[in-house]
Amino acid sequence: MPETPTGDYNRPLRHLSVYLSGLVKGRLWLKVLVGMFLGLVVGTLLGPSVGLVEPATGTLIGNWLAFPGQLFLASIQMIVIPLVIASVVRGLAASENLEQLRKLGVRVTGFFVITTAIAASIGLWIGGLFNPGQMLKGLATTAPEADTPTSTMPSVLELPETLLGLIPGNPLDAMVEGQMLQVVIFSIIVGIALVSMAPEKARPMLDLLDSLQQICMTVVRWAMRLAPFAVFGLMAQLTTTIGFTAMLGMASYVATVIAGLLVLLGFYMVILKLLAGESPKRFLKSTRDVLLLAFSTSSSAAVMPLSIRTAEDKLGVRPSVSQFVIPLGATINMNGTALYQAVATIFLAQVYGIDLSMGSMALVVAMAVGASIGSPATPGVGIVILAMVLQTVGVPPGGIALIMGVDRILDMCRTAINVTGDLVTCRLMENWSGERLPSERILDET
């Protein structure tokens, strides 16, 4: 079994995490909010609400304004797969032994699945409680239909084949097609193999992954500089398309999703206090920087290095735990996204006057759990997953056009909750998996 060279492996992660912390101290989140506000103003002036320019001209200008945003999204999406592979494999290689790895993997995966189901259930409950779609029933006839992907739940007979399909027959195909769950499983298999090998045999591969990780981090650093301009352009384009008046009509929907995310945050804090004895106030203070950065970038993958550093330095989590849980959580732990999908499904069902049965609601929960696993940790992926969920329960997926205008705001909020879930899981797994780090590694409150 390889020795645990955590010092060497942590150096590139820490280097980028220091840079990302600098972005927070430089108030990147504030620049993003300013960009969002300016995007709303410019989009309103160019859109149908004010009509300073012809609709075709406004659309053309909006498309060019959105160019930095599209470049930002493309940069993050381009680097997600190699970053996840390098982080998962190196995190597993930092594990003390296979037995610890097996126990940790079972616990982490089980915890992610259970909390994702709870998050989707909270979304259904809060959506039924607030009834945000009642005010917009008249818009149902104006929602355009869109070509969206379909998804069906596998039958019992198809289940063995479905499970075997999770193992990539050709890992390169899985990477090209963006099959994130297959990529993660391949990375886990490689990581376990490296743990089982002699240190001198595993070292060349780990050194190669170290270089790959540093390359990914350099690209992430470049992409972070575009974040305020990206949000400005995307918001301007969306407001130009649908108009500010229509976005104001979505206020009840936005408030419902944010309320649900706050309930989910409260749930996290309760289980953190009960199961790990951690003070919620101290946890939120320790993780403030990474949560602000997650809010600013709408990508849990982009903040992965800072998440790992925060877990290790401020929450007292061992590298063997943090470097396994954080990359895995960035891929399969989408609790904020699952809650958002449930609220959006209830909202659009109310807009179209569709009554969802208990069976349909149970299917929403199951689909939210299944679709969230393996989704890329990149901005905007929630809309793609939502299309699958809506198609499954019989809600017209064309209604997604109604919520696209406010998705950027909600994407930022739910990403912060996703990262919170990853860090809470790290803290719980450290508490359950064995001896804690020395107390001097844990930063005191200041």
Residue 62: per-residue pLDDT: 82
- For 98, 208, 210, 219, 222, the CA distances from 204, given in Å and listed in that order, are 21, 6, 10, 23, 28
Q: Is residue 253 part of a domain?
A: yes
| pLDDT of the residue at 274 | 92
Higher-pLDDT residue of 142, 219:
219
Contact 104, 426 (CB under 8 A): no
Distance CA 195, CA 90 (A): 10
Q: State residue 180's pLDDT score.
A: 67
171 has a pLDDT exceeding 90:
no
pLDDT of residue 213: 76
Could you tell me what percentage of the chain is helix, strand and coil, using 3-state DSSP and rounding each to the nearest 5? 80, 0, 20
Domain contains 293? yes
Question: Could you give the percent of the chain with pLDDT greater than 90?
Answer: 13
Q: Check residue 142 and report its DSSP letter.
A: G
In a domain, 18, yes or no: no
Mean pLDDT of 376-402: 65
Dist CA 277 CA 428 (whole Å): 9
Q: Which residues contact 304 (CB under 8 A, 6 or more apart)?
A: 83, 87, 326, 327, 330, 377
In a domain, 276, yes or no: yes
CA 62 to chain centre: 26
State the average pLDDT over residues 359-371.
76
On whether the CB atoms of residues 374 and 179 are closer than 8 A, the answer is yes
pLDDT of residue 153 exceeding 60: no
In a domain, 191, yes or no: yes
Tally Cβ neighbours within 10 Å of residue 173: 11
pLDDT in the model for residue 189: 83
Q: What is the pTM of this model?
A: 0.69
**Average pLDDT for 136-163:** 52
- For residue 310, is it within any domain? yes
The residue-averaged pLDDT of 207-225 equals 80
pLDDT at position 436 is 45
Backbone angles phi, psi at 94, to 5 degrees: -85, -5
> Binning pLDDT at 50, 70 and 90, where does residue 233 land?
confident
Of the candidate ranges 8-17, 215-224, 252-261, 432-441, the one whose mean pLDDT is the lowest = 432-441
Asked if pLDDT for residue 172 goes beyond 80, the answer is yes
What's the structural domain count of the chain? 1
Question: Rounded to a whole number, what is the largest CA-CA distance in the chain?
Answer: 69
Question: Does the pLDDT at position 341 exceed 60?
Answer: yes
More confident residue, 180 or 209: 209
Q: Report which of residues 286 and 51 the model is more confident about.
A: 286
Poorest-confidence range of 64-68, 144-148, 334-338? 144-148
**How many beta carbons lie within 10 A of that of residue 201, not counting itself?**
11
pLDDT in tens, 2-16: 444 444 445 555 555
For residues 120 and 13, the model is more confident at 120
In this predicted structure, the answer to whether residue 149 has a pLDDT above a threshold of 60 is no
CATH number at residue 432: 1.10.3860.10
- Closest C-alpha among 355, 357, 361 to residue 125: 361
Q: Does position 143 have pLDDT exceeding 60, yes or no?
A: no
- Cα–Cα distances in angstroms (integers) from residue 429 to residues 30, 100, 231, 395, in the given order: 33, 11, 35, 38
**Domain span holding position 241:** 24-441
- What is the average per-residue pLDDT within 236-258? 76
pLDDT of residue 15: 57
Whether 4 is covered by a domain: the verdict is: no
Distances (CA, A) of 202 to 99, 102, 106: 19, 20, 25
Give the model's pLDDT for residue 142: 41
Q: Which of 256, 226, 282 is nearest to 413 (CA)?
A: 256
Q: Is residue 356 part of a domain?
A: yes
Residue 446 — very low, low, confident or very high, per pLDDT cuts 50/70/90?
very low
